[in-house]
Amino acid sequence: MNRSRVMKEINHLLEEYCEDCFLKKHFRKEFSKTYAHHFCIKQCTVGAKIQERGKMLLKTVKG
């Protein structure tokens, strides 16, 4: 998979799921921006998909 396609997939995930995410807004308001960020990275399924795509980007740079 090429770098451009992976970036498009990441952007799509961010636009589709993250921009208006209720949980992200709630955690930012109730706890903090850092708490919300950690939730997205460690517990959110969309965050896991974004991380997978990020690993693909690293492979395209190295390979």
Over its length of 63 residues, how does the chain's per-residue pLDDT go in tens digits? 789 999 999 999 999 999 999 999 999 999 999 999 999 999 999 999 999 999 998 887 776
pTM: 0.82
Please tell me the predicted confidence (pLDDT) of residue 63: 61
| Torsion 47-49-50-54 (CA) sign | positive
Q: How far apart are CA 18 and CA 24, in angstroms?
A: 8
Q: Is residue 10 within 8 Å of residue 50, measured between CB atoms?
A: yes
